[in-house]
A and B are shown apart, each in its own frame.
Chain A
Amino acid sequence: MINLVSKKEKKKFKKDLVFDILFRNIIFLSGVFIILLLFAIFLTLTFNSFPSLKVFGIKFLYGKTWDPVFNEFGALPFLIGTILTSFLALIISIPFSFSISIFLGEYFREGKISSLLKTLIELLAGIPSIIYGFWGLFVFAPVVRYIQIKLGITPYGVGIFTASIILSIMIIPYSASIGREVIELVPSEIKEAAYSLGATRYEVIKKVILPYARSGILSGIILSLGRALGETMAVTMVVGNSNFIPKNIFSPGNTMASVIANEFAEATGDLYLSALIEIGLILFLVTLIINLIGRYVIRKYAVSL
């Protein structure tokens, strides 16, 4: 019998086979690792919030006092602070991000002016949040203080309002880019059909493009809300860091993320630390739910003609 495959080649085949199996296993395991990582994050947070969960239970969510000295922890001031800053930021950002998505997705799809705006928006998105916070504290907060003096409000400078403005600048690029992508997806046939009926561009945008891209724009807004909720440094520096429920939008407050940033390193005592971790757990769950909703909206209502 003629030996078609030499011993050396056989060995090589075997080696290749072993490596193949090894390689497949490695990439499979790294995929499984991601799932385990997320579960580990969730379990770690839950497990370490137990002391606080046991002592305060559901009262943690509506307790108004946050007092490390007497070991009394209620997160309501931070929940309110977070909700106020994020939603205000969202409302302020919507007209701008909406304009940018229409500008880039419909009016100027390509060309110099569009790539200029795109580059500027990308640079805006690239600025680290600490620099937003620093700039906000030293340049923007004095401006707010000046306005507050003119209006006759207690001139804090920093506070919920200042934080919301800085946050809104930070989330504009994010929701604008998602909005642009969806608006670009609107098929030109239906736009042309509207034009051929004599519609102006404004009417096409209002009656054809927006209804078509509605879900995408909505999910962009939802996803940028998730980002606003978790934003830490910029907010921490300009929100005023007061652990009381803000009286109005100009008064100083604190958000969930900023209270962790401020107090975690100095937290003495297990209960104190555990209360901060529980805030982290709430933050984790809230952003998780918001992200899932955002992505659900984009998938579920992804338009198909």
Chain B
Amino acid sequence: MKKQIQKRIIKDKLFKIVIILLSFLSTFPLFFILFYLIKNGVFSLNFEFLINLPKPVGEKGGGIANAIVGTFILIIISSFLSIPIGICVGIYLSENKDKNLSKVINYFVDILQGIPSIVLGIIAYLWIVRPMRHFSALSGGVALAIMMLPVIIKSTEETLNLIPQSLKEAAFSLGAPYYKTILSIVLPAGISGITTGILISISRIAGETAPLLFTAFGNPYMNLNIFKPIESLPHLIYNYAKSPYPEWHQKAWAASFILILIVFTLNFISKLVVKRWKVRF
């Protein structure tokens, strides 16, 4: 009897140790990746690298200014396209919870979220690049906007569902019309959750490469025109990593470091927003 109990206790302890070990083992890749990014990336970083344009192989210097600017332009385009629609759909879903249409839309949002990004690249290519006959920042922005939509819709809907009904009723009882109640009472109350959703969706698309391969395409020069091809950080990393030149690999490491800095900063800010302005009722 005693032996059996001891056996069970040992089994229990062993299991816990295995769980803890495996859990922390799965975070090892993070440290490996960060270690190499810092080791290989930081040393080729300097101010010139951030403000200069790329130079051909063999020439010293050269930077990634066009890619940084391009990434921000792509983010602006896709935010501009996806945020208004995303918030509207979120409002619709949280305001019409019981309608069958809402359930259908919810399903569709789930499916939209599951579509591989490369497929959205094909779509943006067929919708915009082919009719226009050339690659453009706009088409990249459209592909990224479709990726952002589900995240924004879900965070808006979930946040608005947390806002108490009494708040809305109070506004109605004062004679506020429906649109005003939503836009100036309910929406501001949930602004933190919506902002978090937007930031998370931006951090997700900031590192996205696949849909840009044949939409935004890449461009070795500075470009501010949204109807022309544009460079982006992830695409530049891809190009440089594929190249056979060690000095370009070095630049890819540095660019990766910058990219991960941008993505982690966005994540961090979204955490702060949650903490600071969390919906509390």
Interface set of A (CB-CB < 8 Å, partner B): 16-17, 19-20, 22-24, 26-28, 30-31, 33-35, 37-38, 41, 44-45, 48, 95-97, 99-100, 102-104, 107, 117, 120-124, 126-135, 137-139, 169, 172, 176, 200-203, 205, 223, 226-227, 229-233, 237, 257, 260-261, 264-265, 276-277, 280, 283-284, 287-288, 290-292, 295
Contact = CB atoms under 8 A, between A and B. Distances in A.
Contact of B114 (A17, A20, A26, A288): A288
A260 B118 contact: yes
A202 B11 contact: yes
A30 B81 CA distance: 12
A142 to B, nearest CB: 12
Interface stretch (B50-58, B60-68, B163-171, B256-264): B256-264
Closest 7 CB pairs of A and B: A128-B207, A230-B116, A23-B179, A99-B22, A30-B88, A291-B114, A232-B210
Contact of B85 (A28, A33, A48, A288): A33
B263 A126 contact: yes
A168 to B, nearest CB: 9
Interface stretch (B104-112, B190-198, B219-227, B273-281): B104-112
B179 A19 contact: yes
B22 A127 contact: no
Given A31-B101, A48-B126, A232-B117, A129 B177 contact: no
A28 B102 CA distance: 10
Given A134-B252, A230-B118, A20 B178 contact: yes
A38 B29 CA distance: 36
A265 B217 contact: yes
Contact of A95 (B22, B37, B180): B22
Interface string B1-35: 00000001101100110111111111101101100
Contacts of A37: 112, 146
A76 B241 CA distance: 28
B209 interface: yes
A264 B252 CA distance: 23
Candidate in B26, B113, B210 with the most chain A CB atoms within 10 angstroms: B26
Given A26-B88, A287-B114, A127 B260 contact: yes
Given A95-B22, A131-B207, A291 B111 contact: yes
Given A261-B213, A292-B111, A117 B89 contact: no
B161 interface: no
Contact of B27 (A45, A120, A280): A120
Nearest to B88: A30
A223 B213 CA distance: 26
Contact of B260 (A131, A133, A205): A131
Contacts of B141: none
Q: Is the interface of A mostly helix, strand, loop or mixed?
A: helix
Contacts of A27: 88-89, 91-92, 95
A128 B117 CA distance: 13
A28 B8 CA distance: 59
Contacts of A96: 22-23, 25-26
Nearest to B26: A96
Candidate in A223, A264, A280, A295 with the most chain B CB atoms within 10 angstroms: A280
A128 B259 contact: yes
B238 interface: yes
A134 B213 contact: no
A135 B33 contact: yes
Given A99-B22, A117-B27, A134-B252, A31 B102 contact: yes
Candidate in A19, A103, A233 with the most chain B CB atoms within 10 angstroms: A233
Given A95-B22, A134-B252, A291-B114, A122 B89 contact: no
Given A34-B109, A34-B112, A264 B241 contact: no
Contact of A126 (B115, B121, B267): B267
A159 B177 CA distance: 61
Contacts of B138: none
